[in-house]
Amino acid sequence: MKYYSTRDRSTPVSFSAAALNGLASDGGLFIPQEIPQFSPSVRSSLGTMNFIELAFETIRPYVHEDIPDSVLGDMVESAFNFPAPLVPVDDRFVLELFHGPTAAFKDFGARFMARSFAYLRRNEDRELHILVATSGDTGGAVADGFFGVEGIAVTVLYPKGRVSPLQERQIAGLGGNVSAIAVEGSFDDCQRLVKSAFVHPELSRRLNLSSANSINISRLVPQSVYYVAASALAKSGRYSQDGKATPRMRGTGEGQRAVRDGRLGKDVLFCVPSGNFGNLTAGLYAQAMGAPIAGFIAATNINKTVPEYLASGVYQPRPSVATISNAMDVGAPSNFERMTAHWSYEELRKNIHGFWVDDGKTKETIARVFDTSGYVLDPHGAVGWTAVDQWLAAKEDPAHPFAGFSGPVAVLGTAHPAKFAETVEPLVGPVPVPPSLAEAMGRTVQSVTIRADVEALVETLLTLRS
């Protein structure tokens, strides 16, 4: 598989180059020359393979020229060492993607990216320095994914005082090859500093800089795996047994079991709580590969750039607005360029139905779903749940893009509710903390504070790394 830039299709590069460079030199995003297809034999046996086998079959066509099968097999086994259960709740399912070490779905991408970087750079002597700006979740997942990986150093920039205490410990509590810089400013300041660092002459001469943000193709491809796995499971008429780590505090959640179970055996409609749209793009890849997926609901908070585009055909990026589902506070989603490089507006409009949800509705949903089923949603999952409600209400309209749909609906649970306890607990009471988060809470924050100034960043990076 070769990759090219969304802005220039004339110079194909390898997976290795696309992954290690992150962004193309013309500023575009790397996309595969074509989205690979499952062979008929793989396709017919998707329902009988386990998660690791599905991960191997899904990722292999994207990487096999650069990563041998035996290496890839070990990589997916160690990266995806936690479950992604499809849990029944009321009339739908929640695909729980928060059982990894940082309790958010970004663990899937970050853990695979770290392992692929370590392999692709196995013959390099010079240390790679990954610089990443975070508003919260990405920094923790990247720090955790790369922690202890030889030959790679990571520095995470985060806005001082604007991430939760837990997020700060996930970012700044590891030490070792992971450094943390608290910037006196906003997330936008952090991002601006990272961008200026990449073009700073002295820094690029002295440090071998790379990025690890969500536009990296090596983070995107592994996110297709859980769509393949969940849709294959539902299509074969099954779902996951309610795992003990599932954030359900009372009740059985069996309220509308007949409705829900009657929908199994068919292609799945996924509802994806979205910000930068990397997760949804990975779902589109899984569907194009041949996974049994009927379509998507794109759920956003008030940062509704993409739902508006889907409704009107006009793409109007805006500055982001702060919400309680803060990992989705994105006004100019970076993966939009990738989606529209593969698919036309007409194709996207038929396949993705967009809804947006404000904070008031999000909180109402957290409280209501807990009352009816005992299931605790996090604010991001609650945006998704509410979007499904809106979609169900609109379904009577014959002009509705999925008017005749009768298959299972699965909302992606992108984060564990304990990660957003300050929002969730006033609505539902105390939320049990999973072991990985409890462990992180016990860490000591070790970060350097700087003002939002490029020279301050350069000086700090050079002292940290020399």
Ligand X SMILES: *Cc1c(COP(=O)(O)O)cnc(C)c1O
Residues lying near ligand X in the complex (CB under 6 A): 104, 106, 137, 214, 273-279, 327-328, 380, 414-415
Q: Find out whether 117 and 153 touch, Cβ atoms under 8 Å.
A: no
Among residues 210 and 305, whose Cβ is nearest to ligand X? 305
Q: Give strand pairing partners of 128.
A: 152, 208
Nearest distance in Å: CB 338, ligand X:
11
Among residues 301 and 447, whose Cβ is nearest to ligand X? 301
Among residues 245 and 264, whose Cβ is nearest to ligand X? 245
Nearest distance in Å: CB 371, ligand X:
23
- As a residue count, the chain comes to 466
Nearest distance in Å: CB 405, ligand X:
23
Among residues 97 and 457, whose Cβ is nearest to ligand X? 97
DSSP H helical ranges for 24-136: 40-44, 51-63, 69-79, 106-120
Give the C-alpha separation, 260 to 386, whole Å.
Answer: 17
Nearest distance in Å: CB 139, ligand X:
10
| Coil/strand/helix, residue 310 | helix
Nearest distance in Å: CB 217, ligand X:
13
Residue 394, judged by CB atoms within 10 A of its CB (0-12, 13-18, 19+), counts as middle
Give the C-alpha separation, 10 to 305, whole Å.
Answer: 30
- Helices 137-146 and 165-172: angle between axes, nearest 10 degrees: 30
Nearest distance in Å: CB 231, ligand X:
18
Nearest distance in Å: CB 106, ligand X:
5
Backbone torsions φ then ψ of 452, nearest 5 degrees: -75, 75
Backbone torsions φ then ψ of 59, nearest 5 degrees: -85, -30
Nearest distance in Å: CB 58, ligand X:
17
Q: Give strand pairing partners of 155.
A: 131, 179
Among residues 35 and 328, whose Cβ is nearest to ligand X? 328
Among residues 216 and 274, whose Cβ is nearest to ligand X? 274
Among residues 49 and 441, whose Cβ is nearest to ligand X? 441
CA distances for 94 relative to 38, 98, 253, 385, angstroms: 25, 11, 11, 9
Among residues 139 and 407, whose Cβ is nearest to ligand X? 139
What is the distance in angstroms between the CA of the first residue and the CA of the last residue of the chain?
38
Q: How far is CA 345 from the centre of its chain?
A: 23
Nearest distance in Å: CB 123, ligand X:
32
Among residues 146 and 277, whose Cβ is nearest to ligand X? 277
Give the C-alpha separation, 90 to 87, whole Å.
Answer: 10
Q: Find out whether 181 and 457 touch, Cβ atoms under 8 Å.
A: yes
Structure tokens at 392: 């169900």
CA distances for 226 relative to 56, 58, 60, 410, 450, angstroms: 12, 10, 15, 12, 39
Nearest distance in Å: CB 380, ligand X:
4
Among residues 128 and 330, whose Cβ is nearest to ligand X? 330
Single-letter amino acid code for the residue at 121: R
Q: How far is CA 206 from the centre of its chain?
A: 32
Nearest distance in Å: CB 329, ligand X:
10
Among residues 136 and 407, whose Cβ is nearest to ligand X? 136
Q: How far is CA 276 from the centre of its chain?
A: 9
Give the C-alpha separation, 333 to 275, whole Å.
Answer: 6
Give the C-alpha separation, 237 to 261, whole Å.
Answer: 8
